[in-house]
Chain A
């Protein structure tokens, strides 16, 4: 057998190897741009599957499934869109493999559990669930499931929140107010206090005021908030705000009253 024939014979094998979907796209989507979590309906049976499902429910209906730890009208999904899957809205698959991590926020190396505690304390203006408690276990299990197949210790495209470059002119709350009232108040209200569904549940979350995130939250940072708005708001129309508009709306939201940072309000650290 000539070497040429050998190559021809092995061609299907080589092709199969070359075009095999890379393991990073766990759902097998060959056109993947971003990391893809496991397909729906592949959740394992048994105790782990139940814990993951519980975590998902806490994630979507945080106030209902973890009422002891939530102090406002927000849920995990308020910021982590599509149940923690959407790129550029701090997806779980972008966080799971990047902890433990040193954080200048508290000058410590934080585990993922400690990071999630921060979400409850600041973004949900509540009480951190204990690291070994059922709520935390369920959330970690859910994050683990969403991140199945994601590399550990690497940054993935779509991870976290987009980092905005400096705006051309300084962010203006006044310009932001006009944009907010024109485009955002449809859902969040002219007074930013959100809307309700007909059975009294929170429909769209308040973005400032007593029922919103406190001044210790990541989104109290104008750049972080601008990055979120830029890529995600209004829902389905991410990137429809210009960079400057995203900065201005973020500055306006930032200028409004909200609960104090619990670290400064005398609640201890």
Chain B
């Protein structure tokens, strides 16, 4: 007998729905899209993957964890992806595929995604908007000042620059190379900082985050994670005109969609 916890109440109907919807449907991308509809077609295909997977073994719906509108699940540290740029989401999924981005949950799921699938789903989630979800993590008021200080001033005596130098004013990101971190959950941010610190996650350009995270104490990680978790995420992270990906070195370099 399954006790209907809030999680199963949510997941079970979703799995049922996706199974029913997916049955008998042709899940491949039609070849006959007109050139002008290419982006719309990619978004539509990305939406399909997000809702039910691409139909290949192992590939489940992104929405099962990242939610339909990409708000993530703050309680278990699954990140918001809504409004991250297409370039960034693409890069991270590729990173998981290649093993440079540590994610024991995702690495099984994304192996059967083609480059086109990844591009589609990245494009889809970059256009999705969703408000910040409730973060049930405990916030320690005694760490508030420390978190704010690390975020806005840095700890330069240990060569730790202010987070906002690269992650933008109020953590809004400097797209596409530096993602927004404002409004991510405390557990996600702490998880990533720890993952960088022990060099499980190694997809950061120049090893910048590995270097910085390994210099932070656990207390500082907690403080800075809760600071950014307390901020509002940007609504839609467009790539500013000046930061066109063809002007910047991107990671992974050549295969990143040039748009």
Interface residues of A (CB under 8 A from B): 36, 40, 81-83, 85-86, 181-183, 185-187, 189-191, 193-201, 203-204, 234-238
Given A82-B154, A185-B249, A186-B177, verify A196-B243 contact (CB < 8 Å): yes
Q: In the complex, what's the smallest C-beta–C-beta distance from B86 to chain A, in angstroms?
A: 14
> Quick check: which of B2-10, B103-111, B160-168, B192-200 contacts chain A, the rest being far away?
B160-168
> When each residue 208-226 of chain B gets 1 if its CB lies under 8 Å from chain A and 0 otherwise, what string results?
1001100000000000000
How distant is the Cα of A40 from the Cα of B211 in the complex, in angstroms? Answer: 25
How distant is the Cα of A134 from the Cα of B251 in the complex, in angstroms? Answer: 45
A81 near B174: Cβ-Cβ < 8 Å = no
Interface residues of B (CB under 8 A from A): 149, 153-154, 156-157, 159-161, 165-166, 168-169, 172-175, 177, 205-208, 211-212, 234, 237-238, 240-243, 246-249, 251
Smallest CB gap from A197: residue in B = B168
Specify which chain B residues have a CB less than 8 angstroms from the CB of A183 in the assembled complex: 206
A197 near B156: Cβ-Cβ < 8 Å = no
B156 near A195: Cβ-Cβ < 8 Å = no
Q: In the complex, what's the smallest C-beta–C-beta distance from A30 to chain B, in angstroms?
A: 13
Given A187-B177, A189-B247, A195-B174, verify A235-B237 contact (CB < 8 Å): no
Q: In the complex, what's the smallest C-beta–C-beta distance from B76 to chain A, in angstroms?
A: 28
A186 near B156: Cβ-Cβ < 8 Å = no
Nearest 4 pairs of A and B residues by beta carbon? A82-B156, A196-B242, A196-B240, A185-B249
Q: In the complex, what's the smallest C-beta–C-beta distance from B100 to chain A, in angstroms?
A: 16
Smallest CB gap from A41: residue in B = B145
Q: In the complex, what's the smallest C-beta–C-beta distance from B228 to chain A, in angstroms?
A: 16
21 contacts between A and B (CB under 8 A): A81-B156, A82-B154, A83-B153, A182-B249, A185-B247, A189-B243, A189-B248, A195-B240, A195-B248, A196-B241, A197-B174, A197-B240, A198-B172, A198-B175, A198-B234, A200-B240, A234-B206, A235-B161, A236-B161, A236-B211, A237-B206
Specify which chain B residues have a CB less than 8 angstroms from the CB of A238 in the assembled complex: 159
B156 near A193: Cβ-Cβ < 8 Å = no
Q: In the complex, what's the smallest C-beta–C-beta distance from A205 to chain B, in angstroms?
A: 11
How distant is the Cα of A238 from the Cα of B158 in the complex, in angstroms? Answer: 11
Specify which chain A residues have a CB less than 8 angstroms from the CB of B157 in the assembled complex: 36
A236 near B160: Cβ-Cβ < 8 Å = yes
Specify which chain B residues have a CB less than 8 angstroms from the CB of A40 in the assembled complex: 149, 153
Q: In the complex, what's the smallest C-beta–C-beta distance from B150 to chain A, in angstroms?
A: 12
Given A199-B169, A236-B159, verify A204-B174 contact (CB < 8 Å): yes
In the complex, besides A236-B160, A237-B208, 9 extra interface pairs with C-beta distance below 8 angstroms are A36-B157, A83-B153, A181-B249, A186-B248, A189-B248, A195-B242, A196-B243, A199-B169, A237-B206
Specify which chain B residues have a CB less than 8 angstroms from the CB of A196 in the assembled complex: 174, 240-243
How distant is the Cα of A86 from the Cα of B156 in the complex, in angstroms? Answer: 7
Specify which chain A residues have a CB less than 8 angstroms from the CB of B240 in the assembled complex: 195-198, 200
